[in-house]
Amino acid sequence: MSTKRKDQSDEVDRPDKLRVMVADDHALFRRGLQMVLDQEDDLELVGEASDGVEAVEKAQELMPDVILMDVRMPKRSGIEAAGEIRDLLPHVKILMLTISDEEADLYEAIKAGASGYLLKEIPIEEVADAIRSVWAGQSRISPSMASKLLSEFAAMSKSTGERPQVPSPRLTEREMEVLKLVAKGKNNRDIARELYISENTVKNHIRNILEKLHLHSRMEAVVYAVREKLLEIT
């Protein structure tokens, strides 16, 4: 069981308990997540959904902080639900938790605004820490999927056509350094150590990057940067 602690990686406006919603069509898996979350003093399971349509409805009703979302669900996919929830409730963080290791699902989840993509093969006890980290503004992605994402970025960079007519927003040299490390799957703490800056400074840089690019998540920023040839990954 993880130990609750308050450190500089926590958001200043973090609530006493993070409100968590689970959207998954397998009741047994939902029960397992409930058992894990019940052991965490700072996490509260506020509701569940068994399909994509219900996920959107429950999200508006319950106003969770973080949603654990399966990719493949009845009626509407988790990716479609994530996109709608992002538009309706932009403050909600969405963490995909799925058996799908398809690159297409990973890429579409990022475009839909997901803050993380974890495979269900991870130890279920790690889910609590993943919830906290995405709420704090970090991205969580299974290592096997991270390598596929970088391969996708590299292919995208090589196949990108002409530059857009409108100039891209200008990122500072430091922001580009942060963006490159995000693209390598580094979390805020690792980036801070590598660049000899504080985690709060890293968070500020990422916030500025998202504002300049008019995007919702750090992974979206990497996709955008590669597509617009602001960043090249080899």
Residue-wise pLDDT for 26-35, tens only, equals: 888 888 888 8
High-pLDDT (> 90) share of the chain, %: 14
Long-range contacts of 170-175 (CB under 8 A, 24+ apart): 170/212, 171/209, 171/212, 171/230, 174/205, 175/205, 175/208, 175/209, 175/212
Structural contact between residues 222 and 182, judged by C-beta atoms closer than 8 angstroms: yes
Query: Could you tell me which residues are beta bridge partners of residue 118?
Result: 97
Cα gap 128→105, rounded to integer Å: 23
Number of C-beta neighbours around residue 68 at 10 A: 28
pTM: 0.65
Distances (CA, A) of 78 to 68, 98, 120, 149, 205: 10, 10, 15, 19, 30
Residue 45, helix vs strand vs coil: strand
What is the set of domains in the chain, with CATH numbers?
A: 18-141 (3.40.50.2300), 148-227 (1.10.10.10)
Name the band, by pLDDT with cuts 50, 70 and 90, for residue 144.
low
Residue 140 has pLDDT above 70, yes or no: yes
DSSP assignment string, 156-195: HHHH--SPPSSPPPPPPHHHHHHHHHHHTT--HHHHHHHH
More confident residue, 18 or 222: 18
**Mean pLDDT, residues 175-182:** 84
Given this model, what pLDDT does residue 117 score? Answer: 84
Give the separation between CA 215 and CA 219, rounded to whole angstroms: 9
